Structure formats: structure tokens, C-alpha cells
Chain A
């Protein structure tokens, strides 16, 4: 059920859903016309053109790995959001909205906006001023090589693995939606990604992410617009939904409010308490992903100035707040507009139900977005919608590969294998590693294809590292006394705590009541509380171990730690170019949305 994975992980996609879809063997949902195929083909031509064009601008390591640090705030901001806007996420969260209502929007609002603003306004100056090229790079400057290597190895391993899992999952979706062959989807998309990232480096990946962002809006925005027209607007939708619930044709529940049913685990279908949403999702998971996952932070590090680096996440936050319009709203509208061929209301079900009833013509929750597309989009527009899904997948993969390339070259190859080579050497290594990363991803895709059970564990594996890393980075950035040993042991024991809690619940399900604080809690609540406990553990261990060691002189911490860093003064600008103005506006919008849908 990829719609249910936390936002921090959902970027990586939906392994379990893909496996379930694989089992269906249902006929394809959509049939493309010639103009649709032309739209898709033009997209591939465009990305390869961009790759070749940018090859001449990726000659130095700074250009290849950091896009020359020339990105404007808008480009870095759109790329920052786009790296988290994969096609599987779009489909998964639309399915969650159909199943659970607007609760799914928590992953876009409280599960993203505070963390994005915190990154931009509080953490970005340290990442940017110390001129690090990566998050492990920051750990090296702050804590030394040990913590950096642990973070780099785990990130590199997980990135290519997730890239492969995504590749397989997306190929599965293409098979179900369009009837395309698995091998065709995997090979064609991989070759395209390998070509444009190996040619143009991070700049090429960023360009394509911005392109993808525009295509997603162009291809998907029409669906909720036409859906609202058909439903009679938002009030018409709510009235129709209420009638369906009263008639018993739609499951009872509050589909249009976000916080009212969060008072107890048993009061909402997600089995979550508001403390889990606020502290687990809103802090541990969200801050871990948006502030320390190099996949997204890399985009902001490529900004052309400190002000742009701070503005990028703020700009991104506005678009992130708007994404539910093209993801959550279509899922909700599907509750009242989707119909069977005989005119009765269509009921989407879980993958297990679909799998248990082959040939019954059932569709799963996760198919709601393609079903809505097919409902409203004719030739040309449907091709645009499908192109948006393909573009989302490819840019997500390019993001993984470009982040893997930078981490491997800067944080593994350079410090541990070849230390003092010429700049051209590292660029060449970067290009080769890009291709190798894609090849490993393909291998991982075929591995999970033949052992689908692995995929269930990959999501958990990824979550083991992110939250403890947040604890260690926060301690290093805001506490001058944190030591090298504190950082290393904090990261290690925080990670082991996360693994231990996961194993405890996995082998002894009754432990859920302890990990997630209630016997009524469900799997998602477990993810949130596990992340919270691992952050707290990492912070406590870093704190305690640091107390027993000698702190580094304050002079060595310039550019790394709050209170020991003199930030460069920014030139005064009109209020509409000031990052604080936009941050306040973002906070107002965020609060207004939560209050309106309370």
C-alpha cells in the first residue's frame, strides 16, 4: 500500500503496491492514441536534448556535482519540491485520499511545511556557509570521518536500492495502466536517465526536475478542475458524499476534516493520534527527510547565493502546499464521480481484495488517479497526463542517481580511495558512477522482481537511517559541546534503536502497543513513533557521550555551529524579495489551510 508510507519514504515509491498490482494481471486501464504517443516521444527527445546541451557545462567537479552553484532560488526551490514528487507518490496519495479522505493531506502540510521552512531559515545558512557538498560532508566537518562514512555508505546503498525498487514499481504501473512490457519500461527509462545525468550532471537532473514539475501541473491539474465541475464544486462534492454515506453506498467516515478525529487512535481509519502526527510525522520523519536527506538538500546546496539557498525551500513550501490540489482532491472526487459501466457508483478496494477476485473487474485505491485521468482526458491530454507520470518517475530516478554519484565520489571515493587526483579525474569518476548507479538500479529492479518480499523491508531499511541522522545533525548544528565520539555513537545507537524497535514489532506484533503507545495504533503510527524514539535516542546519546569528551575549540566551529558562526550580512532588498516576508506568508497559508479543513 504505497499510499500509506510516510512522506519521507513515499518519495521513493510503492513497493508493496507494485507487488500487489503485479499479481492482478488485469487488462490495461488506458489506450493511447497516436497523438498521445507523440507527446510521450517528444518528452524523451526534450530530456536528451537538455542532456547534450548541458554536457558542455559540466566540465569541473563543481559544475558536475553541484551544478556550478548557479541555480536561482526559483529553480532550486522547484527542483527541491519536484525531487519528492514522483509519480508513485502521486498515485499512492490519491489512493489514500480516496480511502481515508483529507487526512492524507497531513503528509503535504504538517508533514512537510514546518520542516521546509526550518531548513531554509535556520539550517541552510550552516550547510551553505561551510561550503559542504553533501550532508555526509557536513558530518565530516563537524564530527570527523567516522560519522560521515557511516552516513555516506548507508545513503549510497539505500539510494541505488530505492532507485531500483522505484524502477520496478513504475514499470509495473506502466504495465497495468498502459499494458507496456516491464523490460521495455525499465530499459528505455533507464537509458534516458543515464544519458542525461551522465552528460549534464546535477544541472541536467535539476533542469529535468523543473520540467517535470511543470508537466505534472500541466497534465494533472485538469483532472480536479473537471472533477469539480462534474461534482458541482466543493460544496456539491460534500453534499453528494453525504448523500452516498447516508444511503450506505460509501463507507461512513469524516472525509473532509483533518484534525477532528485525531483525539484517539480508534477514532480515525488511519489509527493515528494527533501526537503521532505532530511529533512523529511533523518532526521526526518530516524534519529527518526534508533537512538531512541529501536527495533533496543537494538541490538547495546548488543555489547561487545564501539568500537563494534560504528562499528555495520557502518557495518550495508554497508549491508543496498546493500539491494536494492535484493529488488529494482527485482522490476525494473519485468517491463521488467514478462509475461502473452500468452507471452505479464504483467502489475501489484494497489490492488484496482485487487479487482475491481476478477477473471481477475491480480496481484498487491506488488506481484512482489513472481512472480519473481516463475519465476526463481525451487524446493528447491523456498523453500529457501519462507523460507527467513518466517524467515524475524519471526525475525521481535521476535525483537518486545524481545524489548517489555525488555521495560516492565526494564522501567515499575521494576520502577513502583516491585522495589527491586532478579535478578531471573526479568528473570522469562521476560520469562512470552515474552509469554504474543506473546499472545497479536495474539489477535491484530485477532482484525485487524475482523476490517481491524484499520490497516490504526496503522501506523500513530506508527509515532506519534518516531520523537518527536528524538527531545528530541538530545536535552538531546547535550545540557547540557536541563531540566527534558523541556524533558517531549517537548516529550508531539511534540507528540500532530504530532497527530494534522495528524488529520487536515485526517478530512480536503485540509490542505495537508499547512502540506506538496504544493497542489501537496501526502500522503508520508505528512508523511515526519509531522515528520519534530514534531521534530522541540519537540526541540523548550524542549529549551524554559528548559530556565525557573534550569539545572542539569554538574557533574551529565557525560556519558549522549556531553561536560560533558569523553569517555573512545580506544586502537589503525590497520586502517582496525578503525571505522572512515569504516565510511568514507561508506560515499564514499553512495555518489557514489547517484551520479551514480542521
Chain B
């Protein structure tokens, strides 16, 4: 796959990075204003750690499979 252009894993990395950043950012925003969404277990701040996890995974895939890098 890598020889023929951009890998699918790069696309996945990009979308995970963008989604992770958005969700993590929202989670941090909730923490800062001290008000959480009206959902069960909001005290666990899932957007922060789930969004952060997605962001980290996305960055890893985006770099690992970036165009031009023979992975």
C-alpha cells in the first residue's frame, strides 16, 4: 500500500487526530469552567482521557504513515 501513495492508516491518523483534539479540547473546556455535560459518570471526564487517547493514537499514525515515508 505504501508504494502506491498515501496509506489508509495516514487518513485514519488524520481523522483520529482531529477528533481527538476536538473532544479533548471540549473536555478541558468543561474542566476549566467547572461544568460538565448532563450525562452519567460525567465526573470521570471521559472526553479528556478518551479524546487524549485518540489524539495520541492519531498523531502516532499520522507520523508513522505520513506520505513519503516508506513505512
CA distance A232 to B4 in the complex (A): 49
A375 at interface (Cβ–Cβ under 8 A)? yes
> Binary interface profile of A, 66-102, with partner B (CB < 8 Å = 1, else 0)?
0010111001000000000000000000000000000
A587 at interface (Cβ–Cβ under 8 A)? no
Residue among B4, B40, B46 making CB contact with A68, cutoff 8 Å: B4
> Binary interface profile of B, 16-38, with partner A (CB < 8 Å = 1, else 0)?
10110011001100100000111
B6 at interface (Cβ–Cβ under 8 A)? yes
- Of all chain B residues, the one with the shortest Cβ separation from A373 is B39
Residue among A43, A211, A226 making CB contact with B12, cutoff 8 Å: A211
Verify B40–A376 contact, CB threshold 8 A: yes
Q: Which interface residue of B14, B19, B22 has the most chain A CB atoms within 10 A? A: B19
Interface-lining segment among A125-133, A343-351, A379-387, A483-491: A379-387
Interface-lining segment among A34-42, A289-297, A352-360, A564-572: A34-42
Q: How far is the CB of A543 from chain B (nearest CB, A)?
A: 43
Q: Which residues of A contact B19 (CB under 8 A)?
A: 39, 42, 218, 384
Verify B26–A35 contact, CB threshold 8 A: yes
- In the complex, which range does the number of interface residues on chain A fall in? 35 or more
Verify A378–B36 contact, CB threshold 8 A: yes
CA distance A374 to B39 in the complex (A): 7
Q: How far is the CB of B28 from chain A (nearest CB, A)?
A: 11
Q: How far is the CB of A398 from chain B (nearest CB, A)?
A: 14
Tell me the residues in window 16-71 of chain B with beta carbons closer than 8 Å to chain A beta carbons: 16, 18-19, 22-23, 26-27, 30, 36-42, 44, 46-47, 50-51, 54
Q: Which residues of B contact A42 (CB under 8 A)?
A: 15, 18-19
> Binary interface profile of A, 383-425, with partner B (CB < 8 Å = 1, else 0)?
0100000000000000000000000000000000000000000
Verify B11–A381 contact, CB threshold 8 A: no
CA distance A57 to B26 in the complex (A): 38
Residue among A210, A222, A337 making CB contact with B8, cutoff 8 Å: A210
Residue pairs across A and B with CB atoms within 8 Å: the count is 85
Verify A43–B37 contact, CB threshold 8 A: no
Q: Which residues of B contact A71 (CB under 8 A)?
A: 1
CA distance A207 to B23 in the complex (A): 24
Verify A70–B1 contact, CB threshold 8 A: yes
Given contact pairs A378-B47, A380-B23, A380-B26, A57 touches B15 in the complex (Cβ within 8 A): no
Residue among B15, B26, B36, B40 making CB contact with A375, cutoff 8 Å: B40
CA distance A206 to B1 in the complex (A): 12
Verify A207–B11 contact, CB threshold 8 A: yes
Q: How far is the CB of A418 from chain B (nearest CB, A)?
A: 29
A50 at interface (Cβ–Cβ under 8 A)? yes
Verify B36–A229 contact, CB threshold 8 A: no
Q: Which residues of B contact A23 (CB under 8 A)?
A: none
Q: How far is the CB of B44 from chain A (nearest CB, A)?
A: 7
CA distance A378 to B22 in the complex (A): 13
A503 at interface (Cβ–Cβ under 8 A)? no
A46 at interface (Cβ–Cβ under 8 A)? yes
Verify A218–B18 contact, CB threshold 8 A: no
Verify B15–A43 contact, CB threshold 8 A: yes
CA distance A446 to B37 in the complex (A): 38
Q: How far is the CB of B19 from chain A (nearest CB, A)?
A: 6
Q: Which residues of B contact A581 (CB under 8 A)?
A: none
A377 at interface (Cβ–Cβ under 8 A)? yes
Tell me the residues in window 190-227 of chain A with beta carbons closer than 8 Å to chain B beta carbons: 206-207, 210-211, 214-215, 218, 222, 226
A184 at interface (Cβ–Cβ under 8 A)? no
Q: Which residues of B contact A375 (CB under 8 A)?
A: 39-40
A478 at interface (Cβ–Cβ under 8 A)? no
Verify A53–B12 contact, CB threshold 8 A: no
- Of all chain B residues, the one with the shortest Cβ separation from A339 is B40
Given contact pairs A226-B44, A229-B41, A375-B40, A381 touches B23 in the complex (Cβ within 8 A): yes
A-B contact pairs, 10 of them (CB 8 A): A42-B19, A57-B4, A70-B1, A226-B46, A375-B39, A375-B40, A376-B41, A381-B23, A381-B50, A384-B23
The 6 closest A-B pairs by CB, nearest first: A378-B37, A380-B23, A380-B26, A378-B39, A207-B8, A226-B41
The interface of chain B, by Cβ under 8 A from chain A, is: 1, 4-6, 8, 11-12, 14-16, 18-19, 22-23, 26-27, 30, 36-42, 44, 46-47, 50-51, 54
